[in-house]
Amino acid sequence: MDVIELMEKELLRRNYSLRTIETYLFCLNKFLKFCKKDFKKINKQDIKDYLDKLIDKKVSGSTINVHLNALKFLFEEILNKKLTIKIKYSRTPKTLPIFLTKEEIIRLIGSIENYKHKLMIKTLYSAGLRVSELVNLKVKDLEFENNYGWVRRGKGNKDRLFIIAASLKDELLKYIKDNNLEHDSSLFTSYNGSMSVRSVQEIIKKAAKKSKINKKIHPHTLRHSYATHLIENGYDLTSVQSLLGHNNLNTTMIYLHIAPKKFINVKSPLDDLKLEDNDKNLSYGDKNINVISSVN
């Protein structure tokens, strides 16, 4: 049994998500092409040399972290060796996510003529789903009587609840009925089976071009837009965090980039204080004025 098969079996045994397994195996393949040694003889320096090569190639910090985590799993869980590596690299600067305004969402969805495609994109936006979560949805994941659905084994291998938009409920029920979809059926399929992530990307790419929105738009843009619009509508961060499935509230806080627009009409509490204007005639250059301040 080779090391790739060993690692795959161990990842499956520990119930890692399929996406993480694919990523780790990809990283391992890249490393083995670089190292070209029997995996039992791999040492800490081999891994450090490989990561240094990635750094030299100006690979992003997040990508380096993924490779490091994959190789750390190999080293510690497959080879049963301890791995501690401190590497210095330039982290990719954090930028605010691109999102669409509500008017742009209307234009984007309105430009899609195919009924099923339009329903897919409306579902993607309405629930803040990742594209992989959309294509993996099954009819049984939708609890229409409760107006919510479930993402099963999403990112981090977690189940997550999402809202079924009231305006979308009847459309989805009609779509399921018209297509004779069974309880265990995938919600959205193509002529040759399951709908692919690539297909959804193409639908959005064409819609963005047709609607003439001058932004770089991809499926995740709709998730960013969903979160932004929730905050614009006055929902608190912890509610948005739960709906997005974020482990850390700091991840959700990035959507406060709309705060200046939201809080532009907020009055300072100073404006509600009825202060006397006795200090208006003070001259701060006057040597005869003694200013006493106390800090508690």
pLDDT of the residue at 74: 85
Provide the pLDDT for residue 27. Answer: 92
Is 223 designated active site?
yes
Known catalytic residue: 255? yes
Q: Is 224 a catalytic residue?
A: no
Which of 130, 160, 224, 229 is flagged as catalytic? 130
Q: How many CB atoms lie within 10 A of CB 105?
A: 22
- pLDDT grade, residue 262 (50/70/90)? low
130 is catalytic: yes
Q: How far is 14 from 112, CA to CA, in rounded Å?
A: 41
Out of 107, 155, 206, 210, pick the active-site residue: 155
Higher-confidence residue: 106 or 43? Answer: 106
pLDDT value at residue 276:
59
**Predicted local distance difference test score (pLDDT) of residue 157:** 67
Q: Are the C-beta atoms of 154 and 137 separated by less than 8 Å?
A: no
Name residue 193's beta-bridge partners: 190
- The active-site residue out of 117, 122, 160, 223 is 223
| Active site annotation includes 67 | no
Q: Is the dihedral of CA 186, 189, 191, 197 positive or negative?
A: negative
pLDDT beyond 60 at 294 = no
How deeply is 294 buried, as exposed, middle or buried, from its count of CB atoms within 10 A (0-12, 13-18, 19+)? exposed
For 127, the token pair is 């629930």
Which residue from 44, 58, 55 is spatially nearest to 87, judged by alpha carbons? 55
Q: Hey, which CATH number is domain 3-78, 1.10.150.130, 1.10.3720.10, 3.90.1150.10, 3.40.50.300?
A: 1.10.150.130
Whether 215 has a pLDDT exceeding 70, the answer reads yes
Given the residues 30, 140, 218, 220, the one annotated as active site:
220
Ramachandran angles phi, psi of 71, nearest 5°: -75, -30
Alpha helices (H) in 245-292, listed in sequence order: 249-252, 259-263
| Architecture of domain 102-260 in this structure | Orthogonal Bundle (1.10)
Of 56-60, 151-155, 230-234, least confident by mean pLDDT is: 151-155
Q: What pLDDT was estimated at residue 293?
A: 40
pLDDT digits (tens, 9 = 90+) for 91-120: 555 677 888 989 999 999 999 999 999 999
Nearest to 53 by CA among 77, 87, 23: 87
Q: Tell me how many degrees the CA angle 47-48-50 measures, rounded to the nearest 5.
A: 65
Q: Would you list the domain boundaries of the chain?
A: 3-78, 102-260
Q: Which position has the higher pLDDT, 248 or 166?
A: 166
Q: Judge whether residue 33 has pLDDT over 60.
A: yes
Average pLDDT, the chain: 81
- 195 compared with 60, residue with greater pLDDT: 195
51-60 tens-digit pLDDT: 888 888 877 7
